Structure 1
Amino acid sequence: MEEHSRNTFQEDLPKTLKTIGKLLEKSGSDTRHWLAADETPMQLMEAAFDEALAQANISKSDLDLLIYPNVTRGFIEPANSTFIAKALGLNCRNFDVVDACNGWVTAMDVINSKMQAGEIRYAAIVNMEFGMSAGGPVMPKNFSLQSPAELAYKFPSFTIGEAAVVTILSNEATDNFKFSYINRPDLSDLSTISLPDCKLLCNDADIAKLEPTGGQ
């Protein structure tokens, strides 16, 4: 933060850095890991997958389904899960669930329903959050402050870490979970990461809200 704001900040930067520190402490965001120069998301994902399989004491051939539920993605078509399954040497059914921050929970809901229906035995959820690459949507522009007022909308990105996490589920106890949702589509414009043709695929009333930031 100090590095990126040193030449842009117009007020008391040390004071604002202390404020950021207090906000991070209050948020509970203690340690955030980012990719090292010699690391790649796929390498970390494969290591997490192997460790998860070992903990679950199953083999790759036991998996019936793989779901990828993250916003971080390299492909719209085919499903990003296709490239993950290929890297892992899997031939099971795989698809993406796109539901923003709720993606993992929604993937759990889908898997639980399939297990209750007796369709699958084992399933994997592969999470990959890697949004801190240089020149990306967050870094460095969100870390380059001009005034403390910008914290109102830039601070959430300071809590982001990068990680690959694999969850393995079995159908041994399909009554463990119950899912209930509160849906607020009227608030859809509050946090958006848009694609180039977003204006063609949203309501006219939303365009005026998205235009000032280009949907970012």
Structure 2
Amino acid sequence: MKARITGVATYLPQRTMTSAEVERRIEGYVPYRGVVERLTGIRSRHVAGDHQQASDLAAEAARELDHAEADLLIFASASQDMVEPATAHIVAAKLGLSCPVFDVKNACNSMLNGIQVAEALILSGAHRKVLVCSGEIPSRAIRWKVRDRTEFVNSFAGYTLSDTGAAVLMSADPERGIFYRDFSADSTAWAIGTLPGGGSTHPRDPEYSYFRGDGRRLKEAFERVGPDLFLNALKRTGLTWDDFAVVAVHQVALPYLRFLAKVLDIPDDRLVVSLPEHGNCASATLPLQLALGGWRPGDRVALLGLGGGISTGVMLVEM
């Protein structure tokens, strides 16, 4: 028995914001015009309505799938509605589901890890149809009032972020599904990118409610980890990237995507470049690329995850 991805759906809020609009919204420090798009390649990103929560985006995506018979719901996201209860309960209530639920959280790898957990539970026989969903609203953690250049640099990663909902339906299948997965982490780098507020360290101070990170150090941390996790997936399966209809890669900036694709030797025609028009969709990035990609049932797809903390993951799937 295998765990097969039987459905993928995304929800993109109608409101969008260009990089030029992002720069105009910043108060205090005035960045060089065009710097966000020049450094990231992002032209536009999605912004949830003020009335929408992370659970709403996840539920909107899930409604596009045949989720009624799901016997488990996993909410896998870097965002959440509130500290307690698990956002999965709120999503399930909005969908009218009465199955067991829980949250999985690991920065931009949350969705990939949620799929990993769902696969394990399907293979164990505990569940047969699992809905894994995400609602990312990182726009709520963007710093718009900036004192100086140093604070702008520390807040820069936030200006790449985009609000997105995603859902993946997984079912037991005797023939095809996930056939390879591997994950790693270098947790010594956890402090490079953080959203520190709301936990026990900074429970109430609003100053810690904004995303902060050093993009240069984060890039260096991923370079230290190296590409072996991804290349070993090919070596151990005897496949090449040409054997995949889609190679979905988490995307934060076009220069780093090009660098990673060159290191891994991924053909351009296998990549789904979602970043310019959709921004950094956090853990919803990989499902978004599957939804945009040109695959058919029976095709192989590769999911390559990169997350703060830092962690990496790879999953090879026969759809």
Report the TM-score when normalising by structure 1. 0.72
Query: Residues 151-190 of structure 1: matches in 2 within 5 Å?
Result: 152-172=153-173, 173=175, 176-190=178-192
Task: State the shift of 1:189 in Å.
Answer: 1.5
Aligned AA (2:159): F
- 2:132 aligns to what SS in structure 1? strand
Structure 1 distance, partners of 2:111, 2:84, is 20
Identity of aligned residues (%): 20
Q: Which runs of 5+ in 1 are unaligned?
A: 54-58, 200-212
Q: Indicate conservation of the 8 Å contact 1:112/1:174, yes or no.
A: no
Q: Indicate conservation of the 8 Å contact 2:54/2:80, yes or no.
A: no
Which residue number in structure 2 is paired with residue 138 of structure 1?
A: 142
Task: State the shift of 1:182 in Å.
Answer: 1.9
Residue deviations 1:155-201 (CA, integer Å, cap 9, x gap): 221111111111111111565242212221211222222235228xx
RMSD of the TM alignment (CA)?
A: 2.8
Q: Which runs of 5+ in 2 are unaligned?
A: 1-21, 213-319
Residue in structure 1 matching 2:65, options 43, 52, 70: 52
Distance 1:175 1:34, change over 3 A: closer
Structure 2 distance, partners of 1:7, 1:187, is 30
- 1:78 aligns to what SS in structure 2? coil
- 1:178 aligns to what SS in structure 2? strand
Q: Indicate conservation of the 8 Å contact 2:137/2:164, yes or no.
A: yes
Residue deviations 1:15-37 (CA, integer Å, cap 9, x gap): x2223221121xxx343111245
Structure 1 distance, partners of 2:106, 2:118, is 15
Equivalenced residue count is 184
Higher strand share: 2
Which stretch has the larger CA shift, 31-40 or 108-117? 31-40
Q: Indicate conservation of the 8 Å contact 2:86/2:102, yes or no.
A: yes
Distance 1:30 1:174, change over 3 A: farther
Which stretch has the larger CA shift, 155-164 or 186-195? 186-195
Structure 2 distance, partners of 1:5, 1:112, is 43
